[in-house]
Amino acid sequence: MIGRHAAAGRRTALTALGILALTGITSAAAAEPPKPVPGSTAAQTVGADRPSAALLRALQRDLGLTPGQAAERLVNEAEAGVRAGRLRSALGERFAGAWLRGATSAELTVATTRAADVATIRAQGAKAAVVKRSLSQLQAVKEKLDTAATRVTTRDTPVWYVDVPANRVVVEAVRQSAATAFIKAAGLQGQDVGVRVSSARPRLLADIVGGDAYYIETTARCSIGFSVTKGTQQGFASAGHCGDSGDKTTGYNKADQGTFKASTFPGKDMSWVAVNTEWTATPDVKGEGGEKTEITGSVQALVGASVCRSGSTTGWHCGTVQQHDTSVDYSQGTVDGVTKTSVCAEPGDSGGPYVSGSQAQGVTSGGSGDCTSGGTTYYQPVNPILKDFGLVLKTASAEALPPGQQDNAVQGAWAAGRVYEAGDTVTHSGVRYLCLQTHQAQGVWSPSATPALWQKL
């Protein structure tokens, strides 16, 4: 299934194809959702206090929630992101990660390497975990595995990542001996690197058959991710393995659509397609039955947060964020920095959007399993796509960007269109601010107006 583009005259709306579609909706499920939990500044900033009915239904179906729990979860996740960001700033190098638990994401845990920080963490309404390694130390261990992967084969150790709740780096391997050899090659023998034996081998989710979504050189099929702009040029972001720079695309209706302007794979799994004048970028992520979720930004979700994705093969499905900063070895090459999720996907879903609430998270890269028996998928985070290619995410709340404000190379002064990482500092109206959550700055998200994203220094 693929949502059809809405036509306006001779123009066709370019829509991120699908998010949170739901089949077999009963009359009760199709009723208006309950009023969401009243939103605070954080929930209002990221739109968590006004979710679409389709989003709530998908969360109910895939995470086993009641309507009230689904609405409450979205607000709690927005609030937790702010508290985690503030604590990351306060703890500095002692910060060892943050994650969510519970049906409504009501329990935020923040880890530190110093017991004296427990009171500070609890003061922010979070549960404290005192651990041995900081997040930066765990990332340094994973980087050694990344480096080793450039020298040795990782076919039998296809996944490795920083497991924040377990405070260790984990290697997933088809057998213990393969993991042991990989760890030794990285110079990490004797260190606390976890091993998880699994027969799953992630594969890319492109499909060399006809169907819907968009087509590359009339043969391969992938799914549109998010609408973007670069200056006055409109287009969309998708997965890098879907096509090479210069490849031509056609739309769901086989009409000429655009050209891959840039594509990175392996290493990362990202691309963007510039479309012709018959297609128009919108902030919508469209699913089954024509229902839409509007994208309002790209604030990165915490581990444990709910996330939903769409694809032209399987429609809308939801799950949770399991790990950030994951490396995956596909048969075509290794991809670093993807996010592991419990959401299912199948061939043809590649490139499709992942959304947490109304915040864009990434585009489908690959996975294992399917949507009948369940599976694991990985997405390429969207903020690196925007930053690497100099793109601006199309959002419902975006203001027109003055010339020069889309330049990701601008230093010092806050600028709409730039991608900011947690921990970055900027100047706005003569005041210094610290970024609390990774995101691309929207025109309406100035630091002085969004304490959910920025902390005054």
Q: What is the pLDDT of residue 205?
A: 56
The bridge status of strand 168-173 relative to strand 159-163 is antiparallel
Q: What tokens were used for 331? A: 């048969």
**φ, ψ of residue 43 in degrees (nearest 5):** -65, -40
Instruction: Please tell me the distance from the alpha carbon of residue 375 to that of residue 173, in angstroms, as a whole number.
Output: 17
Q: What is the pLDDT of residue 218?
A: 81
1-91+202-398 maps to which CATH number? Answer: 2.40.10.10
Cβ proximity of 81 and 302 under 8 Å:
yes
Residue-range domain boundaries for the chain: 1-91+202-398, 404-457
Taking alpha carbons only, the member of 367, 365, 358 closest to residue 381 is 365
Architecture per CATH, 404-457 = Ribbon (2.10)
User: Helix, strand, coil % (nearest 5) of the chain?
Assistant: 20, 35, 45
Q: What is the pLDDT of residue 4?
A: 28
Instruction: Please tell me the distance from the alpha carbon of residue 446 to that of residue 433, in angstroms, as a whole number.
Output: 10
User: Which residues are the active-site residues?
Assistant: 241, 269, 350
Q: Tens place of pLDDT for every residue, the chain, 457 residues?
A: 222 233 333 233 333 222 222 222 222 222 333 343 444 579 999 999 999 888 899 999 999 999 999 999 999 999 999 999 999 999 999 999 999 999 999 999 999 999 999 999 999 999 999 999 999 999 999 999 999 999 999 999 999 999 999 999 999 999 999 999 999 999 999 888 999 999 988 886 543 222 247 999 988 899 999 999 999 999 999 999 999 999 999 987 788 899 999 999 999 999 999 999 988 888 888 655 557 788 999 999 999 999 999 888 998 899 999 999 999 999 999 999 999 999 999 999 999 999 999 999 999 999 999 999 999 999 999 999 999 999 999 998 754 444 344 444 446 899 999 999 999 999 999 999 999 999 999 988 999 999 999 999 9
pTM for the predicted model, two decimal places: 0.84
**φ, ψ of residue 207 in degrees (nearest 5):** -140, 120
Q: What is the pLDDT of residue 95?
A: 98
- 235, 367, 292, 229 alpha-carbon torsion, rounded to 10°: -20
Taking alpha carbons only, the member of 304, 226, 172, 164 closest to residue 17 is 226
Spell out the alpha helix ranges (H) of 125-283.
Answer: 135-149, 176-185
Q: What is the pLDDT of residue 6?
A: 31
Instruction: Please tell me the distance from the alpha carbon of residue 269 to that of residue 380, in angstroms, as a whole number.
Output: 6
Taking alpha carbons only, the member of 108, 59, 104 closest to residue 81 is 108
Residue 384: asked if its preceding bond is cis (omega within 30°), the reply is no
Taking alpha carbons only, the member of 431, 357, 418 closest to residue 392 is 418
* Locus of tokens 């393995």: 241
Q: What is the pLDDT of residue 294?
A: 87
Q: What is the pLDDT of residue 53?
A: 86
Q: What tokens were used for 272? A: 């963007």
Q: What tokens were used for 197? A: 């034996």
Question: Tell me, what DSSP letter sits at residue 92?
Answer: G
Cβ proximity of 17 and 309 under 8 Å:
no
Task: Judge if 1-91+202-398 and 404-457 fold alike in CATH terms.
Answer: no
Q: What is the pLDDT of residue 54?
A: 83
Q: What is the pLDDT of residue 39?
A: 42
Distance of CA 57 to the CA centre of its chain: 20
Amino acid letter, residue 183: I
Cβ proximity of 399 and 387 under 8 Å:
no
Instruction: Please tell me the distance from the alpha carbon of residue 389 to that of residue 370, in angstroms, as a whole number.
Output: 31
Q: What is the pLDDT of residue 446?
A: 93
Amino acid letter, residue 325: D
